[in-house]
A and B are shown apart, each in its own frame.
Chain A
Amino acid sequence: MKGCRVRVASKRFGDLQVLQGLDFQVSADNFFALVGPSGAGKSTLLNILSGLDLDFEGELSWVEGGPGKIGYLFQEPRLMPWLNVRENIELVMPDTVKDQAWIDHLLRMVELSDRADAFPRQLSGGMQRRVALARAMAIKPDVLLLDEPFASLDDPTAVGLRRLVLDLWRDQPGAVILVTHNLREAMELADQVLFLSRRPARIVHREVVIPSRIDPVVVRDSQYLTDCLMRRHPDILSGIAAVPEEA
């Protein structure tokens, strides 16, 4: 698995500076969460990480040569409505014939084996997201980007999908970067949470939830962890850390 050093000195849209002085290391097999006020530039950062946005000052340096494979779960599922579930996954695969067994495996993981021939519009919102997740995992990404994937889902569906993300990650390890505004969600899933300030966004606090992932199956009390964090940094969700820290 490849890691990546992310350095974004500055990113602007015209006169508006969105990101400033971001520098962090995405090591392989790490689960990151990025939390920040809305409009802070979280999605902009993901677009830079995914290679969609090349217009910024700074660089992404991959640890082991060449750029790593990126899996991206967008905010909306972004499935091709004219391709069925299986074809949507095949779309991103390098060799569609050879990889049928792998696709079958993924479909079993996301519990959609019996809907492989269905078109996206015949599926519920939660199912569509599971297909999109299977598609993102299909390329065995070095880095999996998740852009608020659980927003706009009802609670049981979101809980199921969160568990699925962890299952898939255990099944197919790599770095994960989850963007969310839901602090509890971040504390529940991530090893490390990076907190962003208001625009121009920089990292104001890095919370290490668990130093190393010995047994990822351990259930955390994410509510307790969240409460503790909020006591130490009452304004963290507005992008302000209690004690100024080095990012």
Chain B
Amino acid sequence: MLEGSAWGRWLFLGVFLLAWQIIALLLESEQLPGPWEVMGSVWYHLLEGELLYSILVTLRRVLLAFTLAMAVGVIVGFVMGRYPLMDTILDGVLIMGLNIPALVVIILCYVWFGLVEAAAVTAVAVNKMPLVAVTLREGVRDIDHQLLQVGQVFRIPLSRRLLKIYLPQLYPYLMTAARSGLSLIWKIVLVVELLGRSDGVGFQLGSFFQFFDITSILAYTLAFIFVIYSVESLLLRPLENHLTRWRP
């Protein structure tokens, strides 16, 4: 009965909050405030503090980095999947890109371009690009040539061929790239903010850390999780359902 329904998620959430409250009450420690206290803090930061502003600033960076990484990654992945020569040439770069620590990229970007917005966004985007490229390369390799021949024989115009025959075969790969990419970006963008920006969620968390303000840190985390769930359920899942509606 619980399978696949929203009830399963809510049930989990309820149990989790209850457990959290009980442990917090038992420990009575400043380092683990209970959910009530944290909710109060969320409310406070929302009304008095910079919670909303910080989240918007971070979201803007996420969006920019995401767009940049998807655009470049899709093009690189397409070229590598389509042309074996390019695959051979770029494969070394790709493996390096996949495995280089995020922190190194972030530090280098700040050193080379200065502590500016563009450096922050680039650093995040560069971390995600290889992942997108690898996924898209698989997608392009999996293209069904029998369907492409239909376009060729019936002399379907190129734009329509791309839109109706080529692209739909890549949708699953684009969705995977978007999903895994987004989760990576959430994680890295805060580090980038912590290291070289004076606003955004990452910067705020850094400040709270200096004052050991655990309640505020958890409050920000909670708000952030809420945003991520919203993006998933309002944007990604409906989009995915729409794109795969032809599957029985």
Contacts and interface: CB of A to CB of B under 8 A. Distances in A.
B154 A139 contact: yes
B153 to A, nearest CB: 5
Contacts of A69: 155
Given A121-B246, A122-B248, A80 B153 contact: no
A72 interface: yes
A92 B147 contact: no
B187 interface: no
B246 A52 contact: no
Contact of A121 (B154, B164, B168, B247): B247
Interface residues of A, number: 24
Nearest to B150: A78
B248 A78 contact: no
B138 to A, nearest CB: 19
A81 interface: yes
A52 B149 contact: yes
A160 interface: no
A84 B168 CA distance: 13
A80 B160 contact: no
A69, A78, A87, A120: residue with the most chain B Cβ atoms closer than 10 Å: A78
A80 B247 contact: no
A74 interface: yes
A92 B156 CA distance: 6
Given A81-B246, A83-B164, A91-B164, A70 B156 contact: no
A29 to B, nearest CB: 21
B5 interface: no
Interface in B160-175: 160, 164-165, 168, 171
Contacts of B246: 81-84, 119-121
B198 interface: no
A82 B153 CA distance: 20
Interface string B122-150: 00000000000000000000000011011
B248 A76 contact: no
A153 B153 CA distance: 24
B153, B154, B246: residue with the most chain A Cβ atoms closer than 10 Å: B153
A52 B164 contact: no
A74 B50 CA distance: 63
Contact of A80 (B149, B152, B164, B171): B164
A234 interface: no
Contacts of B153: 50-52, 70, 72
24 contacts: A50-B153, A51-B152, A52-B153, A70-B154, A71-B154, A72-B150, A74-B146, A74-B150, A78-B147, A80-B147, A80-B150, A80-B165, A81-B247, A82-B168, A83-B164, A83-B246, A84-B246, A91-B156, A92-B150, A119-B246, A120-B246, A121-B246, A121-B247, A121-B248
Interface of A: 50-52, 69-72, 74, 76, 78, 80-84, 87, 91-92, 119-122, 135, 139
Interface of B: 146-147, 149-150, 152-156, 160, 164-165, 168, 171, 243, 246-248
Given A69-B155, A84-B246, A120-B246, 14 more contacts: A52-B149, A72-B153, A72-B154, A74-B150, A76-B146, A80-B147, A81-B246, A82-B168, A82-B246, A83-B246, A92-B154, A119-B246, A119-B248, A121-B248
- In the complex, the 8 A-B pairs of residues with the closest C-beta atoms, listed nearest first: A92-B154, A119-B246, A82-B168, A72-B153, A82-B246, A50-B153, A121-B248, A78-B150
